[in-house]
Amino acid sequence: MRYFLIFFTLVLFVNCSSVPKEYLINDDTCHYNNPIFKISKEELIIDEKILNLLQKEKRSIVIVDDDDYKNEYWYSKDEITNKQTNKQTNINKYLYYNNKGKINFSAFTYNNIYTLGKETNYDKQGNITKVIDYEKGYNICWAEAIAIVKKIAKKEIEKYEITEFYAVHNNLNEFPEVKPIWYIGLLKGNENYKNEVNKKGTLRFRIDGITGKVLKKYRIQSGF
């Protein structure tokens, strides 16, 4: 996957503990039932009209861009990328094709930061050859971890009018020896929050990926 996560130095932390028992992994809560997570048969090959346009113009094009959804294609000589964005959930679907319009692999991100769900590789015939589950070993999904933070940080979220969150986790595929931990942060807010970040650092929470227990509340000096 083409995304790299950078973890910053922790400078201030406060131990917390709570186990919100109502949070158990659920496809509706985690949005995995959302159509954006489905790879249709038609998406295995770029539509001929779109492919011809891309090859002719040799530039990126936007197919749809409204209040709820954006569908765009990025062109390069060797690869074509289709990025679809659900603006309500900040979920992005990435479909990567060769220059002939046949799919190579698909992946999903939250806020263009965290790789979520499953990354899938395909052969030249569009058959699945490899699947990587980025939430392997977790009972608490990304959306549930954010919901936990929304509950315990309600005062800060309302005060700073937080509209977006930062969410990454330990990848057990690459590091099977580490604990399943979510790192959730308050990402975008009002001017007061920007001033708060500049003075005290960014507020972040560490969530147990199995139980949903809040392990730490802390700040980091660097922004996102």
> pLDDT tens digit string along 176-208?
999 999 999 888 888 888 888 888 888 899 999
Counting residues of the chain whose pLDDT is more than 70, the rounded percentage is 87
- Determine the pLDDT at residue 115: 84
Q: How does pLDDT run across 92-139, given as a tens digit for each residue?
A: 999 999 999 999 999 999 887 778 889 999 998 999 999 999 889 999
- Determine the pLDDT at residue 106: 96
CB 113 within 8 A of CB 3: yes
DSSP assignment of 16-45, as one string? -----TT----TTTTTTTSGGG---GGGGB
pTM: 0.78
- Determine the pLDDT at residue 202: 84
Measured between alpha carbons, how far is 146 from 167 in angstroms, rounded to an integer?
A: 8
Q: Is the pLDDT of residue 224 over 70?
A: no
- Determine the pLDDT at residue 166: 87
CB 213 within 8 A of CB 207: yes
Q: Is the pLDDT of residue 70 over 60?
A: yes
Q: Is the pLDDT of residue 19 over 70?
A: no
Measured between alpha carbons, how far is 93 from 84 in angstroms, rounded to an integer?
A: 5
Counting residues of the chain whose pLDDT is more than 90, the rounded percentage is 61
